[in-house]
């Protein structure tokens, strides 16, 4: 709209100056004085038009700056939201992952307790069988009962040791691995999302800076465009004044 107004003003100025060319053959001092007065009037009009153009240029430049700032601030706010949301989700996931690990540790402790309970039952049974075998051997002379009881007792004790030892370690490790796997399943995707959020936030910052730079370019372009139009309007009117002054000087006796 501002450029259209400039074109209209320039056209109006050109039309206003047209009589100078059409009446240039009239060399009387009176006419030349009138031409000079008209040229001075048109020069004053051109200066007013230049001031209007300057005001329009400043307004357009201010608008360009404001648009660039608003766009940049919107992008910066989006960057903050992206990073804040990604960080918040990662923190929640980290808490859930810790809970999963804690549950794995709890299950591991339960595995040890269960193993100890099983081992205790086996040992109790082994000791009871051994006591019965010894009693039968002593009271009824059944030495084979004692031998069998001792063999069973040794086996059950070894089995109890295995249950509370290697088997318990495997079960506990498996419980912890399950907890860690659940923790990784919960936390790892959110770590990736957090990295993506930070990367997207960085892109938004770059875009925000680019908007400010684009706004500065738009401001410079606006100022140059209006500056050129101002110069053209004033220079054209000044040339008309100089031409009228020269013709009047030539016509002077």
Q: For residue 59, what are the CA distances in angstroms to 9, 53, 98, 143, 148?
A: 18, 10, 58, 116, 108
pLDDT in tens, 103-122: 999 999 999 899 999 999 98
Q: Please calculate the CA angle 10-15-18 and round it to the nearest 5 degrees.
A: 125
Query: Tens digit of pLDDT for each residue in 71-106?
Result: 778 777 877 787 788 888 888 888 988 998 899 999
Could you tell me which residue, 151 or 12, shows the higher pLDDT? 151
Overall average pLDDT of the 117-130 stretch? 89
- Residue 23 DSSP symbol: T
Choice between 87 and 26, residue whose per-residue pLDDT is larger: 87
Please give the pLDDT value at position 213: 81
Kindly compute the dihedral angle of the four CA atoms of residues 203, 205, 207, 208, in this order, to the nearest 10 degrees. 160
Model confidence at 10, pLDDT cuts 50, 70, 90, reads low
DSSP collapsed to 3 states, 142-198: CHHHHHHHHHHHHHHHHHHHHHHHHHHHHHHHHHHHHHHHHHHHHHHHHHHHHHHHH
φ and ψ of 118, to 5 deg: -60, -45
Q: What pLDDT score does 252 carry?
A: 60
DSSP percent split of the chain into helix, strand, coil, nearest 5: 95, 0, 5
Q: What is the pLDDT of residue 236?
A: 77
pTM: 0.54
3-state secondary structure of 1: coil
Quick check: 35 and 247 in contact, CB under 8 A?
A: yes
User: Is residue 181 over pLDDT 90?
Assistant: yes
Task: Write down the pLDDT at residue 223.
Answer: 72
What pLDDT is stored for residue 4 in this prediction?
A: 45
| Ranges 18-22, 68-72, 92-96: which has the least confidence | 18-22
Q: What are the residues whose beta carbons fall under 8 Å from the beta carbon of 69, sequence distance 6 or more?
A: 212, 215
pLDDT at 64 over 90: no
Q: In terms of C-beta distances under 8 Å and separation of at least 24 residues, what long-range contacts does 122-127 make, across chains too?
A: 122/156, 122/157, 122/159, 122/160, 122/163, 123/156, 123/157, 123/160, 125/156, 126/152, 126/153, 126/155, 126/156, 126/157, 126/160, 127/153
């Amino acid at each position: 709209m501002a450029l259209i107004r400039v074109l209209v003003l320039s056209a109006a100025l050109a039309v206003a100056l047209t009589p100078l060319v059409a009446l240039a053959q009239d060399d009387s001092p009176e006419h030349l004085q009138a031409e000079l007065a008209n040229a001075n009037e048109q020069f004053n009009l051109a200066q007013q038009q230049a001031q209007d153009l300057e005001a329009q240029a400043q307004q357009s430049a201010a608008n360009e700056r404001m648009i660039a700032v608003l766009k940049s601030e919107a992008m910066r706010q989006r960057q903050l939201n992206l990073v804040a949301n990604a960080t918040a989700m990662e923190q929640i996931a980290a808490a859930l992952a810790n809970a999963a690990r804690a549950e794995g540790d709890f299950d591991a402790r339960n595995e040890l307790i269960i193993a100890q309970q099983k081992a205790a039952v086996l040992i109790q049974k082994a000791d009871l069988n051994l006591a019965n075998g010894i009693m039968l051997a002593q009271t009824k002379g059944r030495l084979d009962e004692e031998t069998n009881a001792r063999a069973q007792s040794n086996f059950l004790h070894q089995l109890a040791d295995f249950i509370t030892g290697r088997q318990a370690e495997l079960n506990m490790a498996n419980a912890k691995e399950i907890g860690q796997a659940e923790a990784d399943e919960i936390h790892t995707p959110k770590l990736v999302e957090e990295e993506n959020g930070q990367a997207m936030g960085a892109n938004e910052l770059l875009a925000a800076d680019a908007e400010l730079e684009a706004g500065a370019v738009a401001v410079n372009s606006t100022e140059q465009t209006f500056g050129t139009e101002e110069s053209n309007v004033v220079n054209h009117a000044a040339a008309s004044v100089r031409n009228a002054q020269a013709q009047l000087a030539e016509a002077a006796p």
